[in-house]
Structure 1
Amino acid sequence: MSNHAALRLGKELSELQKNPVEGFSAGLVDDSNLFEWEVFIVGPPDTLYEGGFFRATLKFTDEYPNKPPVMHFLTPMWHPNIYKDGKVCISILHPPGDDEYGYEKSSERWLPIHSAESVLISVISMLSAPNDESPANIDAAKQWREQKDEYKKKVKQFVRKSQEEM
C-alpha cells in the first residue's frame, strides 16, 4: 500500500508544482519523504486573513488515499476550526464513513477521490467562512459569534505576526 500512496503523492505534488493553484504552494519538508509536505497559504483576498502568510504541514499515512492527511498550521492561527495547537478540523479531513455524532454526512468526510489540492482549497474556503457549529477552538468560535469586532481585531494581530515571520 505504501508504494501506491507514494506514487499518488508524487504525482499530486508534481501536478501542483507544474500547475500551481492560487492561494497556496506546497513542497516536501524533506526531499526523501513524500509523506510530509510543507504548505504556504496566502490569506485569501476579501477575508480577515488577507495579507497573511501561513505555514502548515500536511502529513499523509501509507494508507493514503484511503485515509485523510492531517494538517497543522505552524503559524499561530485564531479560527473556530483550528485547534490551539494548529491542527485543522474540517469535515474533509475526517475519516471516511458515518459521523458517530451525526454532525456530518459521510459525503462531506474524506473520500479517496479527494487530494491534497482539494484539502488545501477546502482550508482556504474555511478561512473565509468558519463553521462555528462544531468548533475545534471554542474560544475563537464564541468570540466569532458574540464579539465579531474583537474577533476581527485578534485575527488582524495574527495576520500581522505572520507577515513579520516571513
Structure 2
Amino acid sequence: MSDQAVLLLRKQLKELSRNPIEGFSAGLVDDCNVFEWSVTIMGPPDTIYEGGFFTAHMTFPKDYPNKPPGVRFVSEMWHPNVYADGRVCISILHSPGDDPHGYEDASERWSPVQTVETIVLSIISMLSDPNDESPANIDAAKEWREDYPAFKKRVARCVRKSVDDM
C-alpha cells in the first residue's frame, strides 16, 4: 500500500509544482520523505486573515489515500476549527465512514478522491467561513460569537506574526 501512496503523493506534488493553485504553495518538509508536506496558505482576500502567510504541515499515513492526512498549523492560528495545538478540524479530514458522534454524514468525511489541492482549498474555505456549530477551539468559537471585535483583534496579531515569521 505504501508504494501506491508514494506514487500518488509524488504525482500530486509534481502537478502542484507544474500548475500552482492561487492561495497556497506546497512542498516537502524534507526531500527524502514524501509523507511530510509543508503548505503555506495565504489568508483569503476579504477576510480577517487577509495578508497572512500561514504555514501548516500535512502528515500523510502510509495507507493514503484510503486514510486522511493530519494537518496542523505551525503558524499561530486563532480559529474555531483549529485546536490550540494547531490541528485542523474539518470534516474531510475525519476518517471515512459513519461518524460515531452522529454530527457528520459519511459523504462529508474523508474520501480517497480528495487531494492535497482539495484539502488545502477546504482549509482556505474554513478560514473564510468558520463552523462554530462544531468547534475544535471552544474559546475561539465563543469569542467569535460573543466578542467579534476581540476575535478580530487576536486574528490580526496572528496575521502580523505570520508575516514577521516569513
- TM-score bracket, normalised by the shorter chain, equals over 0.9
Structure 2 residue 85 is the aligned partner of structure 1 residue 90: no
TM-score (norm 1): 0.99
User: What is the match of residue 127 of structure 1?
Assistant: 127
User: What is the match of residue 152 of structure 1?
Assistant: 152
Aligned partner of residue 34 in structure 1, secondary structure: strand
User: What is the match of residue 100 of structure 2?
Assistant: 100
TM-score (norm 2): 0.99
Q: In the TM superposition, what is the alpha-carbon distance from 1:101 to its structure 2 partner? A: 1.0
Tell me how far apart the structure 2 counterparts of residues 51 and 75 of structure 1 sit (CA, whole Å): 14
Aligned partner of residue 35 in structure 1, secondary structure: strand
Tell me how far apart the structure 1 counterparts of residues 49 and 121 of structure 2 sit (CA, whole Å): 15
Alignment RMSD (CA, Å): 0.5
Letter in 1 for 2:39: V
Letter in 1 for 2:77: M
Structure 2: gaps of 5 or more residues: none
Letter in 2 for 1:42: M
Tell me how far apart the structure 2 counterparts of residues 10 and 157 of structure 1 sit (CA, whole Å): 35
Tell me how far apart the structure 1 counterparts of residues 42 and 50 of structure 2 sit (CA, whole Å): 7
Letter in 2 for 1:120: V
Aligned partner of residue 34 in structure 2, secondary structure: coil
Tell me how far apart the structure 2 counterparts of residues 132 and 97 of structure 1 sit (CA, whole Å): 23
Q: In the TM superposition, what is the alpha-carbon distance from 1:78 to its structure 2 partner? A: 0.2
User: What is the match of residue 162 of structure 2?
Assistant: 162
Aligned partner of residue 30 in structure 2, secondary structure: coil
Question: Percent identity between the aligned chains?
Answer: 63
Tell me how far apart the structure 2 counterparts of residues 157 and 62 of structure 1 sit (CA, whole Å): 36
Report how many residues are paired.
166
User: What is the match of residue 55 of structure 1?
Assistant: 55
Aligned partner of residue 36 in structure 1, secondary structure: strand
Q: In the TM superposition, what is the alpha-carbon distance from 1:82 to its structure 2 partner? A: 0.3
Tell me how far apart the structure 1 counterparts of residues 138 and 61 of structure 2 sit (CA, whole Å): 28
User: What is the match of residue 7 of structure 1?
Assistant: 7
Tell me how far apart the structure 1 counterparts of residues 32 and 150 of structure 2 sit (CA, whole Å): 44
Q: In the TM superposition, what is the alpha-carbon distance from 1:34 to its structure 2 partner? A: 0.5
Letter in 2 for 1:74: V
Q: Deviations over 1:103-122 (max 9, x none)?
A: 11111100001111100000
Q: In the TM superposition, what is the alpha-carbon distance from 1:102 to its structure 2 partner? A: 1.1
Q: Deviations over 1:24-56 (max 9, x none)?
A: 000001111100001111101001100001111
Tell me how far apart the structure 1 counterparts of residues 103 and 145 of structure 2 sit (CA, whole Å): 19
User: What is the match of residue 77 of structure 1?
Assistant: 77
